[in-house]
A and B are shown apart, each in its own frame.
Chain A
Amino acid sequence: MVFSSATFLIIFLPLTMVLYYLVGVLITKSTAVKNLILLVASLIFYAWGEPIYIILMLISICFNFVIGKDIDQSKRMNNRRKAKMLFVSAIVFNLAVLGFFKYFNFLLENIANVTGAGIKPLNLALPVGISFYTFQIMSYIIDLYKGNIRAQRRLLNFALYVSLFPQLIAGPIVKYKDIADQLMYRKENWLTYSKGLNRFVFGLSKKLILANTLGSVYAAVQEAGCDNMSVLTAWIGIICYTLQIYFDFSGYSDMAIGLGGIFGFSFCENFNYPYIATSVTDFWRRWHMSLSSWFRDYVYIPLGGNRCAVPRVILNLLIVWLLTGFWHGASWNFILWGVYYGILLILEKYVLAGLIKKVPVILKWLVTMICVMVGWVLFSAPTLEVAIAYIAAMFGYAVSFVDSYGVFILFTNFALLVIAGLCATPLYMSLSGMLGGKKFSKVMLAVTPLLFLLCIIFMISETYNPFLYFRF
Chain B
Amino acid sequence: MKTVNANDRNIKKAPDQNYGPFEFISAMTVTLMLLLVCVFTLAGQDREYSENENRNLAGKPIFSLSSVMDGKFMEDMDSYLSDQFVLRDALVRTRTDIDIFIGKREINGVYIGKKHYLFEKPSEYDEKRVKRTTDTMNGISAAYGEIRNYVAIAPNSSEILSDYMPSNAPSQNQTEQISKVYSNLNGFTCIDLCGPLKNADDPAALYYKTDHHWTSEAVDIAYRKIAADMGLDPSAYSYDNLAVTNGFQGTLASSSGIFSAKDTIRIPTCPQDIMYRVTYVNEGKTCTTVFDQSKLSEKSKYDVFFGGNFAQIMIETNAPSDRVLMVVKDSYANSLIPLLIPHFKTIVVVDPRYYTDNVQEIIEREEVTDILWLYNANTFLNDTSIYGKFN
Mark interface residues in B1-31 (1 if CB within 8 Å of A CB, else 0): 1111111101110111111101111111111
Give Cα A414 to B33, complex, Å. 32
Q: Chain B interface: which size bin?
A: 35 or more
- Residues in B neighbouring A470, C-beta threshold 8 A: 212, 251, 255
Give Cα A9 to B15, complex, Å. 29
Closest to B303 in A: A469
Q: Would you give the shortest CB distance from B336 to chain A, in whole angstroms?
A: 16
Chain A interface mostly: helix
Q: Would you give the shortest CB distance from B248 to chain A, in whole angstroms?
A: 15
A32-40, A56-64, A348-356, A456-464: which lies at the interface? A456-464
The answer to whether A7 and B78 touch across the interface, beta carbons within 8 angstroms, is: yes
The answer to whether A408 and B105 touch across the interface, beta carbons within 8 angstroms, is: yes
Q: Would you give the shortest CB distance from A429 to chain B, in whole angstroms?
A: 5
Task: Tell me the chain B residues, 92-108 only, with Cβ under 8 Å from chain A.
Answer: 92, 94-96, 98, 102-106
Mark interface residues in B310-347 (1 if CB within 8 Å of A CB, else 0): 00000000000000000000110000000000000000
Partner of A460, one of B6, B31, B92: B92
Partner of B98, one of A14, A426, A457, A465: A457
The answer to whether A415 and B78 touch across the interface, beta carbons within 8 angstroms, is: no
Tell me if B55 counts as interface (CB < 8 A to partner A).
yes
Give Cα A266 to B24, complex, Å. 18
The answer to whether A408 and B169 touch across the interface, beta carbons within 8 angstroms, is: yes
Give Cα A50 to B167, complex, Å. 46
Closest to A178 in B: B4
Give Cα A468 to B52, complex, Å. 11
The answer to whether B251 and A411 touch across the interface, beta carbons within 8 angstroms, is: no
Tell me if B353 counts as interface (CB < 8 A to partner A).
yes
- Residues in A neighbouring B16, C-beta threshold 8 A: 191
Tell me if A385 counts as interface (CB < 8 A to partner B).
no
Tell me if A358 counts as interface (CB < 8 A to partner B).
no
- Residues in A neighbouring B91, C-beta threshold 8 A: 456-457, 460-461
Task: Tell me the chain B residues, 221-276 only, with Cβ under 8 Å from chain A.
Answer: 251, 254-255, 257
Give Cα A418 to B28, complex, Å. 31
- Residues in B neighbouring A359, C-beta threshold 8 A: none
- Residues in A neighbouring B257, C-beta threshold 8 A: 461, 464, 466
Give Cα A359 to B105, complex, Å. 41
Closest to B85 in A: A460
Q: Would you give the shortest CB distance from B353 to chain A, in whole angstroms?
A: 7
The answer to whether B167 and A405 touch across the interface, beta carbons within 8 angstroms, is: no
The answer to whether B12 and A429 touch across the interface, beta carbons within 8 angstroms, is: yes
Tell me if A471 counts as interface (CB < 8 A to partner B).
yes
The answer to whether B24 and A190 touch across the interface, beta carbons within 8 angstroms, is: yes
Partner of B82, one of A266, A403, A453, A459: A459
The answer to whether B255 and A468 touch across the interface, beta carbons within 8 angstroms, is: yes
Give Cα A464 to B27, complex, Å. 29
Give Cα A51 to B64, complex, Å. 13
Give Cα A178 to B52, complex, Å. 51
The answer to whether B6 and A466 touch across the interface, beta carbons within 8 angstroms, is: no
Task: Tell me the chain B residues, 22-45 only, with Cβ under 8 Å from chain A.
Answer: 22-31, 33-35, 37-38, 41-42
Give Cα A408 to B22, complex, Å. 42
The answer to whether B11 and A468 touch across the interface, beta carbons within 8 angstroms, is: no
- Residues in B neighbouring A187, C-beta threshold 8 A: 1
The answer to whether B331 and A472 touch across the interface, beta carbons within 8 angstroms, is: yes
Tell me if A422 counts as interface (CB < 8 A to partner B).
no
The answer to whether A416 and B103 touch across the interface, beta carbons within 8 angstroms, is: yes
Give Cα A459 to B85, complex, Å. 11
- Residues in A neighbouring B10, C-beta threshold 8 A: 272, 285
A187, A412, A442, A459 — which one has the most chain B CB atoms within 10 A of its CB? A412
Tell me if A197 counts as interface (CB < 8 A to partner B).
yes
The answer to whether B255 and A472 touch across the interface, beta carbons within 8 angstroms, is: no
Partner of B11, one of A266, A272, A463: A272
- Residues in B neighbouring A415, C-beta threshold 8 A: 102-103
Tell me if B192 counts as interface (CB < 8 A to partner A).
no
The answer to whether A466 and B254 touch across the interface, beta carbons within 8 angstroms, is: yes
- Residues in B neighbouring A403, C-beta threshold 8 A: 170
Closest to A273 in B: B12
Q: Would you give the shortest CB distance from A207 to chain B, in whole angstroms?
A: 16
Closest to A412 in B: B105
Tell me if A452 counts as interface (CB < 8 A to partner B).
yes
Tell me if A105 counts as interface (CB < 8 A to partner B).
no
Q: Chain A interface: which size bin?
A: 35 or more
- Residues in A neighbouring B171, C-beta threshold 8 A: 404
Give Cα A459 to B81, complex, Å. 11
A69-77, A339-347, A433-441: which lies at the interface? A433-441
Q: Would you give the shortest CB distance from B305 to chain A, in whole angstroms?
A: 12
Give Cα A333 to B81, complex, Å. 37
Q: Would you give the shortest CB distance from A457 to chain B, in whole angstroms?
A: 5
- Residues in B neighbouring A194, C-beta threshold 8 A: 19, 23-24, 26-28
B68-76, B139-147, B176-184: which lies at the interface? B68-76
- Residues in A neighbouring B166, C-beta threshold 8 A: 408, 412
Give Cα A449 to B30, complex, Å. 6
Tell me if B296 counts as interface (CB < 8 A to partner A).
no
Given known contacts A178-B3, A456-B37, A461-B257, A411 and B8 CB-to-CB distance under 8 angstroms: no
Given known contacts A7-B74, A448-B30, A463 and B79 CB-to-CB distance under 8 angstroms: yes
The answer to whether A186 and B103 touch across the interface, beta carbons within 8 angstroms, is: no
Given known contacts A7-B81, A437-B18, A471 and B69 CB-to-CB distance under 8 angstroms: no
Q: Would you give the shortest CB distance from A105 to chain B, in whole angstroms?
A: 20
Closest to B74 in A: A48
Task: Tell me the chain A residues, 10-27 only, with Cβ under 8 Å from chain B.
Answer: 10-11, 13-15, 17-18
- Residues in B neighbouring A52, C-beta threshold 8 A: 69
Q: Would you give the shortest CB distance from B175 to chain A, in whole angstroms?
A: 18
- Residues in B neighbouring A197, C-beta threshold 8 A: 27, 30-31
Give Cα A186 to B2, complex, Å. 10
Tell me if A6 counts as interface (CB < 8 A to partner B).
yes
- Residues in B neighbouring A413, C-beta threshold 8 A: 103-104
- Residues in A neighbouring B6, C-beta threshold 8 A: 293
The answer to whether B8 and A269 touch across the interface, beta carbons within 8 angstroms, is: yes
Give Cα A178 to B7, complex, Å. 12
Give Cα A269 to B103, complex, Å. 34
The answer to whether A6 and B74 touch across the interface, beta carbons within 8 angstroms, is: no
The answer to whether A266 and B1 touch across the interface, beta carbons within 8 angstroms, is: yes
Tell me if A407 counts as interface (CB < 8 A to partner B).
yes
- Ranked nearest first, the 7 interchain pairs of A and B with the lowest CB-CB distance are A461-B95, A194-B27, A467-B55, A6-B81, A441-B22, A466-B254, A408-B168
25 contacts between A and B (CB under 8 A): A6-B78, A51-B68, A191-B19, A193-B27, A197-B27, A198-B23, A198-B26, A272-B10, A293-B7, A404-B168, A412-B104, A412-B106, A412-B166, A416-B103, A437-B18, A441-B19, A445-B26, A448-B23, A452-B30, A452-B33, A453-B33, A459-B82, A466-B52, A467-B55, A469-B300
Known: A269-B7, A416-B104, A468-B54. 5 other contacts (CB 8 A): A404-B168, A411-B168, A448-B30, A463-B82, A470-B251
Residues of B within 8 A of A (CB): 1-8, 10-12, 14-20, 22-31, 33-35, 37-38, 41-42, 52-55, 68-71, 74, 77-79, 81-83, 85, 88, 91-92, 94-96, 98, 102-106, 166-171, 212, 251, 254-255, 257, 300, 308-309, 330-331, 353, 379, 382
